[in-house]
Amino acid sequence: MGIGMEYEQLKNELIRHGKLYYIDDNPEISDYEYDMLMERLKEMEREHPELVAPDSPTMRVGGAPLKSFESYTHSSPLLSMNDVFDLEDLRAFDRRVKAAGETDYVVEYKIDGLSVALEYIDGVFVAGATRGDGETGENVTENLKTIHSVPLKIENAPRRLVVRGEVYMTKRSFEKLNEERDNLGEPCFANPRNAAAGSLRQLDSRITAQRKLDIFCFNILDRDGESDIQTHKENLDYLRSLGFTVSPEYNVFADIEEVCSEIIRLGERRSELPFDIDGAVVKVNNLSLRETMGRSARSPRWEVAYKYPPETAKTKILDVFITVGRTGVLTPTALLEPVWLAGSTVSKASLHNLDYIRSKDIRVGDTIIIRKAGDIIPEVVETVFSMRPEDTAEFEMPSVCPECGSPVIRDEDGAAHRCIGVDCPAQRLRNLTHFASRDAMDVAGLGPAVTSLLLEAGLLKTAADLYELRSEDIAELDRMGELSSANLISAIDDSRDRGLERLLFALGIRQVGSKAAKVLAQTYGNIDRLMEADIVSLTAVPDIGEITANNIIKYFALESSRILVERLKLAGVSTEAKEERSADRRFEGKTFVLTGALERFTRDEATLMIERLGGKVSGSVSKKTSYVIAGEDAGSKLRKANELGIPVLTEEEFIRMTE
């Protein structure tokens, strides 16, 4: 057998097994066997790149990250649908249809996802794009290739075919993704639709490939050649015959009352489905009548989306407990008398913060009405005051952290209550990951996964413990080894000399970002002087307001913070400002605004040049702005500068000012 024939057979075998696993949910071989076949295919493609086929399963794993998405102009507009919210509105829709002609209807699930167009030339998938504004979307072809239910090649297709579909994430994949993100200290997605949208718009298609997206196709937007298809149902049947995944149910109904019954039936099954729906779509089945009815500027007149109301249930609050998040925020959660709601038993619901509790006057012992926001997250709708026991009391947030006993403060600029303990167990992963991040102490190789390993092994509690780690202890951990541990120790050693500016940012003091850390380091010179600064001294520093100043004072007032600083000093971590102030202060008292695309330098580089010469960079134009530096495609900031008569500099003019 020649290499070409062997490659074709192996490729087709993997395509078949992929369909069995990802689409039919009926695998014939183990994951290991599949992986071994895939490795063989990759090896053949590396050795014989001329064999690589456009429908190769290797296209599903993602490629090199893009810098940005290109725009894609849709050949046919991707219109939105008109929504209806009750059956009477649906009957009114039927009367408008009947005025144009007789027809039956097709009812489909309204998948809660992200609309896309898929373009095929000679049966090969060549481009895919988001809906965007309906006329122009983002070209996300490489990301769509990672979705196993998107055919990379179809047989017996017209020369050109454009199909519309809805990308979504199953409930099971959504729960797994959020569990992984929570373990890494990353924010969880609110619902599967947000997760799907964020995953499809990743610049790195390898990330998209890990997110397990899926798609249902539901319409033909464009095709070459004649077609004898006369109904929407025939369209869906045709798409399925080509290998596209279509809605698992699409039934035809003779009149609107049958449609109403079907909508009620589908609504009752919502909780049983493996994917989210937020309604049902009712479409005129007769394609020629669709042409007669036409469309408005934004939506077809021959279809509507019936939106389901959220389900509610009544239950009782048994208790309220506090959890501490990875940023130190205390979140009150209601422990509920278990109740069945939207497909699952609900026994707790987030109460978010004290303002939320006060606005609904929620108390332990109350009877409440709950629903699932986005059909996923339980939330309190209202309190049933008529059923309130006489002995209830208003809820109060704790004054000390339940995890570490450190003081709890309320954010001056928000509703959150926050633990300010530097070694709070609940915050360790987040704090240590931030400490080691690139803009902070820049410890290469110390990301969330490795930090989690060190925490689980008991080798880390605070940032100071990093500088006491031994290579031999790290080498014994899972997925590490002598080389990895040696590299990590070397990176930790290199971080000792980052200077005060980077250290202040790394400490994670509330509202002290990289910009504030820089001006504090320049002003005080070393950490000891900063630790002794009072409110008057701090608020006199440019860009340091009263809220930030109070956060700094509260942070260094904690014994745990002072112990951490002393341990870092003993470990040889620099607590001195790294650079002296420039003697050239020609931009002293001047405020610059950067706008548009700069070619000679990045915005960070321009900011550094300005600050080294004593100037300040602002994000908005006002009467206090001294100069605006404008690059290509400058927009509203340039217009406002011209309106206010503020001098506008080109990059060349700015460079001459710095020479």
Candidates 71, 63, 88, 185; CA nearest to 131 is 71
Q: Which among 605, 606, 645, 656 has a CA at the least distance from the CA of 629? A: 606
Q: Which H or E run contains 170? A: none
Helix (H) / strand (E) element for 337: namely strand 329-341
**Angstrom distances, CA of residue 168 to CA of 111, 211, 273:** 7, 10, 13
Q: Which amino acid is at 138?
A: E
Are 86 and 263 a contacting pair, CB within 8 Å?
no
Q: First and final CA of the chain: distance in angstroms?
A: 71
From the list 139, 122, 129, 154, the residue with the least C-alpha distance to 55 is 154
Is 478:436 a contact under the CB 8 Å cutoff?
A: no
Catalytic residues: 110
β-strands 591-595, 616-618 pairing: parallel
H helical segments located in 495-613 = 500-506, 514-524, 527-531, 535-539, 546-557, 559-570, 603-612
Query: Bridge partners of 279?
Result: 110, 307
362 contacts: CB under 8 Å, gap ≥ 6: 317, 334, 351, 368, 380, 383, 395
Report which of 653, 533, 639 is spatially closest to residue 595, judged by C-alpha positions: 639
Taking the C-alpha atoms of residue 324 and residue 424, their distance in angstroms, rounded to an integer, is: 9
Ranges of beta strands (E only) in 154-302 are 160-169, 213-223, 250-253, 277-284
* Cβ within 8 Å of residue 505, ≥6 positions away: 439, 440, 512, 513, 514, 517
Tally of CB atoms within 10 A around 400:
12
User: How far, in Å, CA of 615 to CA of 496, rounded?
Assistant: 29
The pair of three-digit structure tokens given for residue 586, joined into one six-digit string: 């020609």
Six-digit token string for 611: 């600050």
Q: Determine contact, residues 537/492, Cβ cutoff 8 Å.
A: no
Among 127, 109, 216, 221, which Cα is nearest to 166's? 216
Instruction: Kindly report the length of the chain.
Output: 659
